[in-house]
Chains A and B, each alone.
Chain A
Amino acid sequence: MIDWIVILQAGVASGTVLLFAAIGGIMTERSGVMNLGIEGMMLIGAMTAYKTAVVLGQPWLGLLLAMLAAGALSLLHAVVSIHLQADQVVSGLAINFVGIGLSMVLGEGLSKAGAVSLLPSITLPLVSDIPILGPILFTNHNPMTYVGYVLTPAAWFYINRTRPGLHLRAVGEHPAAADALGINVYRLRYRYVFVGGLLAGLAGGTISLAVSPGWFSELTTSGQGWIAVGLVIFAQWNPWRAAAGAYMFGALRRLILDLQGPQTLLWFANPFYYMPKLGFFLQMLPYALVILILFIGSREALKKRMGAPAALGVPYIRGERGL
C-alpha cells in the first residue's frame, strides 16, 4: 500500500527546494528583473555544495559556498540586464547554459565520490508528537526544511510590511517614481537579483546535500529550476501561494516514485507495476501540471486583474520617459 505520511513527509523535504528557488525568483522579479536562470544557478549551487562536502567534508560550508557561487552567477545576469540593458529573457537563458556547462566542468568526476558527510536529520521535540502533522512536518527532516517554514512568512512580511519591502515593490512597479523619491533603482535591482541567486544556490545545495544526495550533472535538478520559474508566475509573486505550490509539487515527486511500487492500488491491480513503461506518463506529470496551473492561473489573473510587477523585464534607463 501507499504510505501517505511518508509521501507527504518526503514531499515537504523536496518541496523545500522548490520553495527556496521560487521565493528567490519572487524577490528578483518583484524588483522588475526577470529571473529565468534559476535552473542554472541551482546546478552551480548543487555542484559547489557537494564538491565542498567531498573535498573538505564540510556540508555547512558547502551550503554557504553554494549560495555565494550561485549569487556570483546571478550578478552576471544583473550586470547584463540592469546596466547593459540586454534582453532579460535571453540573459536568463544564458545564465542557464553557463550554469549547466560550468557545473559539468567543475563537477567532473564528483559523481564517483564515496561516502560524503551530508546535512543531518533532525526531529523536533514536542511538536513531532502531534498526530499526523508531527511525522509529516517535524520528523527526520534536514535543517533546511525548517528554514523553509520560516522563510515563507518572513519573505511575505518583508515584501508587504517593511520599508525595504516597499522600496522593492516600488522599483518593480514604477522605477521612475521610485527614482524620483531618491531610491537607487540600480542598486536595489542588483541586490534582489543577488538575493535570488543566493536562494537558488541554497536550493541546489539542499538537493545535493540532503534531499537527493549526490551529483548527477544535469539530472541533479532535472528541471526543478524551471518548475520554480513556473511556480513564481502561478504564485502571482506571492510567497504564500509559492509555498503551497512548492509543497504540492514536492509531494507529487515522491508520489510518482511510490506509485510504481505496490502491486495493488486501493482495490485494483496497479497498472504502473505491471506495465513499467506507463511510468513514463507518470514522469510527464509534474511538467504537464505546470502547464495546467499556469493556464488556470492566467485565467484567474485575467479575472482579478492581478499580474506581474508592472516593470518586469523592462530595463530602467535614467532620464528616459516611461515606466
Chain B
Amino acid sequence: MSADQPAARGWRLPFSISFEQRMTTPKWLPALTSIGSLIVAFMIGGGVIAIAGGNPFATYAHLVKAAFGDIGVFNDTLVKASPLMLVGLACALAFRMKLWNIGAEGQFFLGAWGASAVVLAPLLPRDTPGIIIIPAMMLAGFACGALWGFIPGLLKAKFNVNEIITTLMMNYIAVSWVLFWVFGEWSESGFQMSPMFPRNTWLPRLTDYAAQIPQLAGLTLHLGILFGVIGSVVVWFIISRSRWGYEIRLIGDNKQAARYAGVNIVRNTVFMMMVSGGIAGLAGMAEISGVVHRLQGAISSNYGFTGIIIAWLAKLNPFAVILVSVLFGGLIQAGREIQPSGVPRMLQGIILFCVIASDVLLRYRIQITRR
C-alpha cells in the first residue's frame, strides 16, 4: 500500500508519505494508539456537538465533573463500571477466538432473569441467608447467560450459522422474554416491575457498613465490582496461561492451522460462547442484586453493546478492560444528564471508529520524507 503519488499536476506535496509493513509491533504502541484515538474521538465528537448547537468545552467539562468530580459521583461511575467490566471481559474473551458474540446485552438480561427466578419463582425460600442465596443467584445468572450463548454457539459450531446475526437476534428475544415476566407473572400489582427483592438477596454495598465507618454512608458501590476485578485476573489466566487459552489464541489467529493441529473447533466454539454468555449473565445478576434490587425492563444502559467497544479499545487485554470500563462508566453516568441525550452513544461509536482506524498504525510504519 503506498500513497506517494504526486498530488496534482504541476504541484507536489513537499514531502512524501509511504506505508511500510511492520515486522514487529513495539509493546507500548497499542496503548499509545488507544489513547491517541480516544483524544481524536473526543475532538471529532466535540465538532459534532458544536454543529448540533452545543458547546463542546462546556459539555466535556460537565462530563468530567459529573463522572469524576467528587467521591459521590465517582462512586456512581464505579457502579456503572461494574457491569461493564464483566461484559467487556465476556466480549474480549470471545473476540480473542474471533467469535463475534454481539449478544452480551441479551445474555445480560437472561442472567438478570435467572437470578430473579431464584428470588421470585422462588427457587429458594425468601429468608434463605445471603451467604447461600447470593451464590445461588450468581449460579443461576451465569447458567442462564450461558444458555443464551449456547444456542448461537451450537448453531455456529455445528451448522455454520453466522453468530453475529443469531446473537443479535437473541438480544431482542431476551428483552421480550424479560418483559413478559415483568408484565405478567412477576408484576407487582400491575406495575411493569417485579416486587422489591428482600434484603438478604442484595449484594453487600459500602453504605451497608456506614455504622462502623461513617465515611461510607451513601456510597452504593457493591460487591459486583470485585466480580469484574477478579474476573479480569481469571480471564487473563485463561488466555495467557492455560492450555485452553492456547487453543483459543490458536483458533483466533488461524482457524485452519488450529484444526490441523488437532484442536476441536466445534467443542471450543460452543464452550466459548457459553463462558462468554455466562460472564455477561453474571453481570446481569450483579446489576439487579447490587443496584436495581428488582427485575424490570430498564436494567441496562446498553451495557452489552458498550462491552464490545470496551473490549476493542482495551485491545482485548483483560486488565485494560477494567480501566476502560471505568472511563465508559463515567461516560454513561455523566451522559444521563447531558443534552442532547445521544451524546454518550455517539461518542462511543466515534471512539470505536478511531480505535479501528488507528489499528493501521500497528501494522504499518508511516514514513514522511522530505523531497
Which residue of chain B is the closest to A104 with respect to CB atoms? B342
Let me know if A98 and B346 touch, CB within 8 A: yes
Residues of A within 8 A of B160 (CB): 298, 302
B239 to chain A, nearest CB (A): 19
**Interface majority SS (helix, strand, loop, mixed), chain B:** helix
Q: Is B266 an interface residue (CB 8 A)?
A: no
Which residue of chain A is the closest to B347 with respect to CB atoms? A101
Residues of A within 8 A of B350 (CB): 98, 101
Let me know if B349 and A97 touch, CB within 8 A: yes
Q: Is A176 an interface residue (CB 8 A)?
A: no
Which of B75-83, B171-179, B277-285 participates in binding chain A?
B171-179
Residues of A within 8 A of B360 (CB): 84-86
Assuming the contacts A36-B164, A280-B180, A318-B1, asked whether A97 and B172 have C-beta atoms less than 8 A apart, the reply is: no
Q: Is B352 an interface residue (CB 8 A)?
A: yes
Let me know if B180 and A94 touch, CB within 8 A: no
Let me know if A100 and B349 touch, CB within 8 A: yes
Which of A163-171, A197-205, A222-230 participates in binding chain B?
A222-230
Q: Is B208 an interface residue (CB 8 A)?
A: no
Assuming the contacts A97-B309, A223-B172, A284-B173, asked whether A80 and B342 have C-beta atoms less than 8 A apart, the reply is: no
Residues of B within 8 A of A302 (CB): 159-160
Q: Is B140 an interface residue (CB 8 A)?
A: no
Q: How far is the CA of A302 from the CA of B160 in the complex (A)?
A: 9
Assuming the contacts A108-B339, A280-B180, asked whether A96 and B161 have C-beta atoms less than 8 A apart, the reply is: no
Assuming the contacts A85-B360, A90-B356, asked whether A284 and B161 have C-beta atoms less than 8 A apart, the reply is: no
Residues of B within 8 A of A103 (CB): 342
A203 to chain B, nearest CB (A): 17
Q: Is A133 an interface residue (CB 8 A)?
A: no
A146 to chain B, nearest CB (A): 30
Which residue of chain A is the closest to B354 with respect to CB atoms? A94
Which residue of chain A is the closest to B348 with respect to CB atoms? A97
Which of A124-132, A136-144, A288-296 participates in binding chain B?
A288-296
Assuming the contacts A101-B343, A101-B348, asked whether A106 and B52 have C-beta atoms less than 8 A apart, the reply is: yes
Q: How far is the CA of A271 from the CA of B183 in the complex (A)?
A: 16
Q: Is A323 an interface residue (CB 8 A)?
A: no
Which residue of chain A is the closest to B169 with respect to CB atoms? A287
Residues of B within 8 A of A226 (CB): 165, 168-169
Q: Which residues of A from 85 to 128 have beta carbons under 8 Å from B?
A: 85-87, 89-91, 93-108
Q: Is B92 an interface residue (CB 8 A)?
A: no
Which residue of chain A is the closest to B151 with respect to CB atoms? A291
Which residue of chain A is the closest to B51 with respect to CB atoms? A106
- B241-265 interface code vs A (CB 8 A; 1 in, 0 out): 0000000000000000000000000
Q: Is A76 an interface residue (CB 8 A)?
A: yes
Let me know if A295 and B155 touch, CB within 8 A: yes
Contact among A86, A108, A290, A317 for B356, CB-based, below 8 A: A86
Let me know if B353 and A80 touch, CB within 8 A: yes
Let me know if A97 and B305 touch, CB within 8 A: yes
Which residue of chain A is the closest to B2 with respect to CB atoms? A318
Residues of B within 8 A of A291 (CB): 155, 161, 165-166, 169-170
Q: Is B102 an interface residue (CB 8 A)?
A: yes
Let me know if A108 and B349 touch, CB within 8 A: no
Q: Which residues of A from 246 to 302 have beta carbons under 8 Å from B?
A: 276-278, 280-281, 283-284, 287-288, 290-291, 294-295, 298-299, 302
Q: Known contacts A97-B305, A107-B342; can you find 5 more A-B pairs with CB under 8 A? A: A94-B353, A98-B350, A280-B179, A284-B173, A294-B155
A-B contact pairs, 17 of them (CB 8 A): A84-B356, A89-B164, A90-B356, A93-B352, A98-B353, A100-B349, A102-B346, A107-B342, A226-B168, A230-B165, A230-B169, A278-B180, A287-B170, A287-B172, A291-B169, A298-B160, A302-B159
Closest 6 CB pairs of A and B: A104-B342, A101-B346, A97-B349, A98-B349, A101-B345, A108-B340
